[in-house]
């Protein structure tokens, strides 16, 4: 079962939902990089279960430990290992799933592929596996922010048929703006309606899906490669590997197919003062030819309704007998609020890998764009 990702900033994740621990080994981080444990914990706290009435009541602190690769707060060039222990597993709730497959869940496909599976908590198919990605993503985030001033912010854009009213000019610029409510939608009016819908689904024993939008600000041009290592291709793989994610868009996405070329193209101009090449619109979502163009990277990720619900459902068992399933356990009625930091982590993992690769391949590029953080500070963005 492949559990590794990345070219230079390479992560290998391990652990199951109801196992002893979940963790990640991060390789490729240069020596001397400051690692702030409290920043990693902050990101994990945003992902943890039990944080509001909208999420699963599973009570986990998700306290992270760094067991290698860091000395006196800085990396030493060796693999960094981070571990989070599971503390609140109730495996007996899953006993009725030992031989029965949940509709639209990974139960059947795992059994068909491997011939054996961990039925408790879903094993590796559980969203609990994403602890590892968020922990590694926090390290990626610190490197990107410290070196280039890159800031990635995701938020809930839609829940069911309820959409936020955020135009590009109103996109949030900080995680604090997003965390202003438990839905993690910066449009407070829409957030109230979303919250009510999620609670309605929870009371009915059902679930609901939605879309997360994510913007990465202050990207320099030049990240990503044409053809097989396009930045949007790597982002798509990273985002679509998140449990329950079923759709991915960059920029205008599918809506761009409704426009003509003359209406869709992002015209270039030279920014006064900085001399930088900019675009007047950003329908490309910050990527052209698989390479960043210096504008904000904007993506969307679609998440299906949670598969495990408490309504009766028709299914089959290991003996290929048709049966009726009544699921038990603790599950999110909507994954979107907790998926926000997971999407951010996935994007940051892709960006830091592309950044370290570009820096190694072309040191002059790094020398040119390393001054960007000071430039953006001057603009107070």
Whether 307 has a binding-site annotation, put simply, is: yes
Count of CB atoms within 10 A of residue 26's CB?
26
Residue in 171, 275, 296, 283 with CA at minimum distance from that of residue 223: 296
The answer to whether 306 is a known ligand-binding residue is yes
Closest CA to 11 of 124, 130, 136, 135: 136
User: Residues 285, 299: contact at Cβ < 8 Å?
Assistant: yes
163 labelled binding-site residue: no
Query: Angle at Cα 257 formed by Cα 255 and Cα 258, nearest 5°?
Result: 75
Q: Where are the alpha helices (DSSP H) in the chain?
A: 37-47, 107-114, 130-148, 175-178, 188-203, 231-240, 261-264, 336-361, 363-369, 372-379
Residue 304 assigned as binding residue: yes
The answer on whether 338 is annotated among ligand-binding residues is no
Q: Determine if residue 89 is labeled as part of a ligand binding site.
A: no
CB under 8 Å, gap of 24 or more: what pairs does 91-99 form? 91/18, 91/120, 91/121, 93/328, 93/329, 93/330, 94/18, 94/119, 94/120, 94/121, 94/328, 94/329, 96/325, 96/326, 96/327, 96/328, 97/327, 99/317, 99/318, 99/319
Single out the residue of 25, 29, 24 nearest to residue 8, CA to CA: 29
DSSP 13-45: EEE-TTSSEEEEEEE-PPTT-B--HHHHHHHHH
Is 46 known as a binding-site position? no
CB atoms within 10 A of CB 300: 21
d(CA 161, CA 159): 6
To the question of whether residue 4 is assigned a binding role by annotation, the answer is: no
Binding residue per annotation — 47? yes
Q: Give the residue numbers of the binding site.
A: 47, 53, 124-126, 289, 304-308, 330
Q: Give the residue numbers of the binding site for NADP(+).
A: 47, 53
Q: Give the residue numbers of the binding site for FMN.
A: 124-126, 289, 304-308, 330
């Amino acid at each position: 079962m492949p559990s590794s990702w990345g070219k230079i900033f390479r992560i290998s994740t391990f652990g199951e939902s109801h196992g002893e621990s979940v963790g990640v080994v991060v390789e490729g981080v240069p020596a001397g990089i400051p690692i702030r444990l409290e920043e990693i914990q902050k990101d994990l706290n945003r992902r943890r279960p039990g944080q509001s009435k909208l999420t699963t009541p599973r009570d986990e602190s998700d306290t992270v430990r760094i067991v290698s690769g860091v000395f006196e707060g800085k990396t030493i060039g060796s693999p960094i290992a981070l571990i989070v222990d599971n503390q609140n597993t109730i495996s007996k709730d899953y006993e009725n799933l030992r031989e029965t497959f949940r509709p639209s869940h990974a139960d059947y496909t795992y059994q068909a592929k491997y011939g054996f599976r961990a039925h408790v908590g879903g094993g590796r198919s559980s969203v609990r596996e994403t602890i590892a990605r968020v922990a590694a993503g926090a390290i990626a985030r610190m490197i990107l922010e410290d070196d280039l001033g890159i800031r990635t912010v995701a938020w809930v854009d839609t829940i069911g048929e309820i959409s936020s009213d955020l135009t590009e000019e109103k996109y949030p610029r900080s995680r604090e703006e997003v965390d202003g409510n438990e839905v993690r939608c910066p449009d407070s009016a829409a957030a109230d309606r979303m919250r009510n819908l999620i609670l309605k689904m929870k009371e009915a024993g059902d679930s609901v899906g939605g879309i997360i939008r994510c913007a990465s600000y202050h990207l320099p041009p030049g990240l990503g490669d044409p053809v097989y290592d396009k930045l949007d291709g790597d982002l798509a793989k990273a985002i679509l590997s998140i449990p329950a994610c079923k759709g991915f868009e960059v920029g205008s996405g599918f809506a761009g197919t409704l426009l003509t070329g003359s209406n869709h193209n992002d015209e270039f101009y030279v920014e006064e003062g900085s001399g930088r090449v900019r675009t007047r619109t950003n329908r490309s979502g910050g990527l052209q030819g698989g390479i960043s163009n210096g504008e904000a990277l904007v993506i969307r990720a679609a998440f299906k309704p949670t598969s495990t619900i408490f309504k009766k459902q028709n299914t089959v068992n290991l003996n290929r007998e048709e049966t009726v399933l009544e699921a038990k356990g603790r599950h999110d009625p909507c994954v979107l609020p907790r998926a926000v930091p997971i999407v951010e982590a996935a994007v940051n993992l892709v960006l830091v890998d592309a950044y370290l690769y570009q820096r190694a391949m072309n040191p002059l590029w790094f020398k040119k764009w390393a001054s960007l953080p000071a430039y953006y500070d001057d603009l107070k963005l």
